[in-house]
């Protein structure tokens, strides 16, 4: 840690650190040390600005993991000179919760308002949508299905599978526009029978909001809009918060949505102090959230904003930096003017430091040529073998396999498992959440079936999960397996004979005895807690077995989820809850905990292992070697005729993106602008192409020393073969020229 404090700022960082007040915007390239710079700036402000007792420097981030990193970093810089009350680090949504929690009455919330967990919100939406499709499905099919698909039940099923995403996007956007269902209902009724998508979405939106209301809750999307409403509703409250946070430092500003920016802008005020750091080239959430890098770009051009850049990157070898810059150049000269106009990637170019970057290795970059076709199975196999070799040669180095989507990552991880290659699957709703839910599930199952020694053994493994190598564990398990009556072990005092004392001598093996004794006390306690409502039972268990804040938070949201399940079906009992938890733990039932991307994942803690992750999830992280997979014209489409887009479903007429069309209808409802069918689909393509270029850029810049890019022609079963993503030949040529 002392190294972090002692580190001398680079010239561009030093310039940022001269900040004392006003508005400042910083474009920071990957690896430019923006966390270091921003947290140091926060620490400087805390120690130099005469903060009053109730004032704090506010640092706003996009993710919990970033918030955790900032929290730690600022603390280190302050070196204990502050008791931790001079600054506050919050995610944007956490900040919204803070604002609402203090004055919930301003927006019609009660003080124990619940944020309805994502999976519960989804099920409200699904229920409403199913009901709508039951009565109006035929109407929707006629409007959008290809004629030959109209009578096919299979296709109707596909439409029903895809419809939730359309409605979800519509509701998200409507909430971002702060358009309530009543307003949209009036607008859509005025149009009459046309605009089937809008009819569907508005009807579901109405029912969805009713469902949230019935639960006394808000969804994640509501938080920002409601916080903004609260700030607008009461100028005094706003003034008080402005006083409380005289400085607002914002990280990842390229991922802010219009509404989020508006909330911060209001919080900062005309004359406030606001520092925004971001990289428009890393804006990769535009197509599935309402984020837009345009807001940051516009901010950098505003009058009175001091615009700076952090162009030096110490992360990657110079050749990898060169490749990333080559992609920026490719983007600037993009053939399609619509895409070019959207500015997928823009300067500043990345610059290596004068000294300190990893050296160029002879084989630093390997790119699969566009002429070399292979199926997705072959691609996975190639990567797996290559990873195996590399890890054998570099057991102390870090490696990541980055994939465009979770399902592909799951398939890749399965192959690594089969080939016994050490790996870690860091996909959404995977390891950590599943581990937390799994641990709780095993304990609840034991409470449901308290006489089954097999379940007791599984709970013992949960109990010892942090010390799997402790001595005599196998012996303990063998002992428990031989246990004829579970109660002899758990409740010795009740039955008068202490099986444990008779089996493991507290005198001869005190540590082992103590371990088992502590375990049985915990089990006895959980069994007594069987009388509590399920949410409270989960909290009791969580309090006993989790120590990591993210695990506690996941367990808490699991408790809320289970409470909701219990309230919505009064006939459920513990064995039913156990089944629900089992379904969640095995991923059969959706539950999104505080997922991997929200936790402080540190690649450096996993050397010698292959980390499987999505490219989205990898943002902000770095590895010695990085594999970018599936870089084809499906996952990274281009604007040419050959590209296909996930959003344009095969059964929909005229290659329409129904999601884009629904959003266009929403826009027309709100603004009165003309709606021309197909125009939105075209615009959406441009947006997707631009964002995928940025995603590729993010992927490339994760690599420190070496990078492998592969692509595949898709599944064998797929009718048409996919090709390499459009920029790949250009990058291949560049790398070849550089000798890779």
Binders in 587-606 for other proteins, by CB under 8 A:
594
Cβ nearer to other proteins, comparing 539 with 703:
539
Pull the structure tokens for residue 550: 């993210």
3-class DSSP state for residue 61? Answer: strand
H/E element holding 49? none
Determine, following the binding rule CB under 8 A, whether residue 695 of this chain makes contact with other proteins: no
Please check whether residue 522 is in contact with residue 489, taking contact to mean a CB–CB distance below 8 angstroms: no
- Residues in 230-259 at the binding interface with other proteins, rule: CB under 8 A: 233-237, 239-240
Q: Rounded to the nearest whole angstrom, what is the least distance from the CB of residue 604 to other proteins in the complex?
A: 24
**Under the criterion CB under 8 A, does residue 540 sit at the interface with other proteins?**
yes
Select the span of 154-162, 289-297, 545-553, 621-629 touching other proteins (CB under 8 A).
Answer: 545-553
Binding positions for other proteins, 512-531, rule CB under 8 A: 521, 524-525, 527-531
Which residues have CB under 8 Å from 323's CB, separation 6+?
A: 365, 700, 707, 731, 734, 735
d(CA 315, CA 46): 29
Sole window of 117-125, 480-488, 689-697, 710-718 interacting with other proteins (rule: CB under 8 A): 480-488
Asked if omega into 136 is within 30° of 0 (cis), the reply is no
Work out how close the CB of 106 gets to other proteins at its nearest, in angstroms, rounded to a whole number. 7
CA–CA gap between residue 519 and residue 496 (Å, rounded): 19
Find the shortest distance in angstroms from Cβ 216 to other proteins. 4
Minimum Å distance from CB 325 to other proteins? Answer: 40
Beta bridge partners of 277: 26
Stretch binding other proteins (CB under 8 A), from 107-115, 372-380, 463-471, 668-676: 107-115
Q: How far is the CB of 122 from other proteins (least distance, A)?
A: 18
Q: Does 136 bind other proteins (CB under 8 A)?
A: no
Q: How many residues bind other proteins (CB under 8 A)?
A: 78
For other proteins, the binding residue among 385, 485, 715, 736 (CB under 8 A) is: 485
Q: Between residues 119 and 232, which has the closer beta carbon with respect to other proteins?
A: 232
Tokens of 196: 């089937």
Rounded least distance, CB 182 to other proteins, Å: 7
Q: Is 690 in the site for other proteins (CB under 8 A)?
A: no
Q: Are strands 87-91 and 623-628 parallel, antiparallel or unpaired?
A: unpaired
Residue ranges in 194-213 that form contacts with other proteins under rule CB under 8 A: 209-210, 212-213
Look up tokens 């989507």; give the residue. 405
**Interface with other proteins includes 189 (CB under 8 A)?**
no
Tell me if 579 contacts other proteins by CB under 8 A: no
Q: 352 — phi, psi (to 5°)?
A: -70, 160
Is 533 near other proteins (CB under 8 A)?
yes
> Is residue 127 a contact residue for other proteins (CB under 8 A)?
no
Candidates 7, 20, 79, 101; binder of other proteins (CB under 8 A) is 101
- Work out how close the CB of 520 gets to other proteins at its nearest, in angstroms, rounded to a whole number: 12
Out of 15, 44, 82, 104, the only residue in the binding site for other proteins (CB under 8 A) is: 104
Q: Provide, rounded to whole angstroms, the least separation between the CB of residue 249 and other proteins.
A: 18
Q: Where are the beta strands (DSSP E) in 552-694?
A: 610-614, 623-628
- Tell the smallest beta-carbon distance from residue 102 to other proteins (Å): 7
- Among residues 68 and 318, whose Cβ is nearest to other proteins? 68
Closest CB to other proteins among residues 228, 400: 228
The residues pairing with 89 across neighbouring beta strands, listed in sequence order, are 59
- Please give the residues from 490 up to 509 whose contact with other proteins meets the rule CB under 8 A: 490-491, 494
Residue bearing tokens 């610059």: 351
Residue 436, C-beta contacts closer than 8 angstroms, at least 6 positions apart: 546, 551, 554, 555, 558, 593
Between CA 187 and CA 184 the distance in angstroms is 5
Tell me the closest approach of the beta carbon of residue 446 to other proteins, in angstroms. Answer: 10
**Cα(549)–Cα(540) distance, rounded to whole angstroms?**
15
Q: Which of 53, 134, 153, 301 binds other proteins (CB under 8 A)?
A: 53
Residues 413-472 contacting other proteins, CB under 8 A: 447-451
Stretch that binds other proteins, among 132-140, 473-481, 548-556, 702-710 (CB under 8 A): 548-556
Q: Which of 543, 608, 642, 739 binds other proteins (CB under 8 A)?
A: 543
Report the nearest approach of other proteins to the CB of residue 482 (Å): 17
Q: For residues 598-657, which are near other proteins according to CB under 8 A? A: none
Q: What is the largest CA-CA distance in the chain?
A: 85
Backbone angles phi, psi at 165, to 5 degrees: -65, -35
- Nearest residue to 63 (alpha-carbon basis) of 266, 282, 227, 218: 282
Q: How far apart are CA 690 and CA 339, in angstroms?
A: 6
Report phi then psi at 33, rounded to 5.
75, 40
**Residue that has been written with the tokens 């539950």 in this structure:** 591
143 belongs to the binding site for other proteins (CB under 8 A): no
Distance from the Cα of residue 427 to its chain's centroid: 9
Asked if 103 interacts with other proteins (CB under 8 A), we say yes
Give yes or no for residue 733 binding other proteins (CB under 8 A).
Answer: no
Query: Contact 9/41 with Cβ under 8 angstroms?
Result: no
Query: Binding other proteins by CB under 8 A: which of 189, 466, 501, 544?
Result: 544
Residue 132 or 390 with smaller CB distance to other proteins: 132
Measure the CA angle with vertex 280, ends 278 and 285; round to 5°: 95
| Closest to 96 in 3D by CA, of 289, 285, 262, 243 | 262
Binding residues among 59-88 for other proteins as defined by CB under 8 A:
83-85, 88
Shortest CB 459 distance to other proteins, Å: 13
DSSP notation for 445-511: HHHHSTT-HHHHHHHHHHHTTT-TT-TTHHHHHHHHHT-S-HHHHH-HHHHS--HHHHHS-TTTSHH
How buried is 444 (Cβ within 10 angstroms: 0-12 exposed, 13-18 middle, 19+ buried)? Answer: buried
| Angle, CA of 548, 549 and 553, to the nearest 5° | 120
From 149-157, 314-322, 484-492, 644-652, give the range in contact with other proteins by CB under 8 A.
484-492
Question: Is 547 among the residues that bind other proteins (CB under 8 A)?
Answer: yes
Q: State the nearest-atom distance from the C-beta of 47 to other proteins, in Å.
A: 17
Q: What residues are paired with 145 via a beta bridge?
A: 652
Site string for other proteins, 1-40 (x = CB under 8 A): ----------------------------------------
> Of residues 1, 18, 105, 385, which one binds other proteins by CB under 8 A?
105
By DSSP bridging, strand 399-403 and strand 423-425 are unpaired
Interface with other proteins includes 125 (CB under 8 A)? no
Instruction: Report, in Å, the least distance between residue 37 CB and other proteins.
Output: 24
CB of 695 to other proteins, least distance (A): 31
Strands (E) across 157-257 are located at 217-218, 247-250
Is residue 131 near other proteins by the rule CB under 8 A?
Answer: no
In the bound state with other proteins, the residue whose beta carbon lies nearer, of 210 and 736, is 210
Q: Which is nearer to other proteins, 378 or 522 (CB)?
A: 522
Give the span between the Cα atoms of 615 and 629, in whole angstroms: 9
Distance CA 442, CA 452 (A): 12
Taking CB under 8 A as the rule, does residue 683 contact other proteins? no
């Amino acid at each position: 840690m002392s190294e972090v404090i002692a580190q001398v700022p680079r010239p561009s960082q030093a310039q940022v650190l001269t900040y004392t007040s006003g508005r400042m915007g910083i474009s920071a390239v990957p690896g430019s040390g923006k966390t270091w710079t921003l947290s140091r700036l926060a620490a400087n402000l805390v120690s130099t600005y005469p903060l009053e007792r109730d004032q704090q420097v506010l640092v706003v981030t996009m993710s919990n993991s970033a918030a955790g990193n900032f929290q730690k970093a600022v603390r280190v810089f302050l070196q204990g000179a502050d008791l931790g009350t001079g600054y506050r680090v919050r995610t944007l949504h956490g900040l919204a919760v803070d604002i609402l929690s203090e004055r919930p009455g301003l927006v019609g919330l009660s003080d124990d308002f619940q944020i309805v967990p994502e999976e519960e919100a989804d099920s409200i939406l699904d229920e409403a949508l199913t009901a709508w499709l039951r009565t109006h499905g035929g109407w929707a099919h006629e409007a959008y299905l290809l004629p030959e698909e109209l009578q096919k039940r299979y296709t109707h099923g596909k439409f029903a599978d895809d419809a939730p995403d359309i409605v979800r996007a519509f509701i998200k956007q409507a909430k971002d526009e702060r358009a309530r269902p009543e307003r949209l209902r009036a607008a859509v009724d005025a149009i009459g029978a046309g605009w089937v998508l809008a009819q569907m979405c508005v009807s579901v939106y109405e029912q969805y909001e009713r469902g949230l209301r019935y639960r006394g809750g808000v969804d994640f999307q509501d938080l920002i809009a409601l916080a903004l409403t609260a700030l607008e509703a009461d100028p005094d409250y706003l003034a008080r918060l402005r006083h409380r946070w005289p400085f607002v430092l914002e990280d990842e500003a390229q991922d802010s949505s219009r509404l989020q920016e508006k909330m911060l802008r209001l919080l900062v005020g005309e004359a406030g102090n606001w520092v925004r750091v971001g990289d428009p080239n890393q804006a990769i959430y535009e197509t599935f959230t309402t984020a837009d890098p345009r807001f940051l770009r516009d901010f950098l051009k505003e009058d009175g904003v001091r615009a700076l850049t952090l162009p030096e990157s110490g992360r990657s070898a110079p050749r990898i930096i060169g490749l990333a810059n080559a992609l920026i150049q490719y983007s600037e000269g993009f053939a399609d003017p619509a895409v070019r106009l959207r500015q997928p990637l823009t300067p500043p170019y990345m610059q290596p430091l004068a000294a300190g970057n990893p050296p160029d290795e002879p084989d630093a970059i390997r790119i699969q040529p566009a002429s070399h076709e292979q199926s997705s199975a072959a691609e996975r196999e190639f990567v797996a073998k290559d990873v195996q070799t590399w890890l054998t040669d570099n057991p102390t180095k870090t490696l990541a396999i980055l994939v465009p989507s979770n399902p592909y990552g799951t398939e890749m991880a399965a192959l690594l498992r089969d080939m016994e290659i050490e790996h870690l699957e860091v996909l959404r709703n995977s390891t950590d959440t599943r581990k937390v839910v799994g641990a709780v599930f095993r304990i609840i199952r034991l409470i449901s079936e308290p006489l089954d020694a097999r379940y007791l053994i599984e709970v013992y493994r949960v109990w010892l999960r942090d010390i799997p190598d402790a001595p005599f564990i196998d012996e303990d398990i063998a002992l428990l397996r031989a246990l004829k009556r579970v109660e002899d072990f758990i409740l010795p005092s009740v039955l008068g004979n202490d099986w444990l004392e008779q089996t493991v001598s507290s005198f001869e093996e005190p540590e082992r005895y103590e371990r088992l004794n502590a375990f049985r006390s915990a089990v006895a306690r959980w069994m007594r807690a069987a009388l509590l409502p399920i949410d409270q039972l989960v909290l009791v268990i969580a309090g006993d077995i989790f120590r990591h804040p993210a695990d506690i938070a996941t367990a808490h949201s699991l408790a809320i989820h289970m409470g909701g399940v219990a309230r919505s079906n009064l006939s459920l009992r513990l064995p039913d809850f156990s089944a629900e938890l089992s379904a969640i733990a095995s991923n059969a039932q959706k539950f999104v905990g505080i997922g991997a991307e929200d936790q402080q994942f540190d690649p450096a803690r996993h050397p010698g292992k292959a980390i499987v992750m999505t490219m989205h999830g990898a943002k902000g992280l770095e590895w010695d070697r990085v594999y970018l997979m599936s870089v084809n014209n499906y996952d990274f489409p281009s604007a040419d005729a050959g590209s296909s887009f996930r959003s344009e479903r095969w059964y929909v007429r005229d290659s329409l993106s129904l999601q884009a069309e629904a959003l266009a209808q929403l826009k027309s409802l709100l603004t009165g602008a003309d709606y021309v069918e197909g125009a939105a689909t075209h615009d959406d393509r441009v947006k997707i192409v631009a964002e995928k270029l940025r995603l590729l850029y993010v992927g490339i810049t994760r690599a420190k020393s070496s990078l492998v890019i592969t692509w595949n022609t898709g599944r064998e079963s797929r009718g048409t073969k996919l090709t390499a993503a459009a920029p790949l030949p250009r990058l291949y040529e560049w790398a070849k020229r550089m000798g890779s």
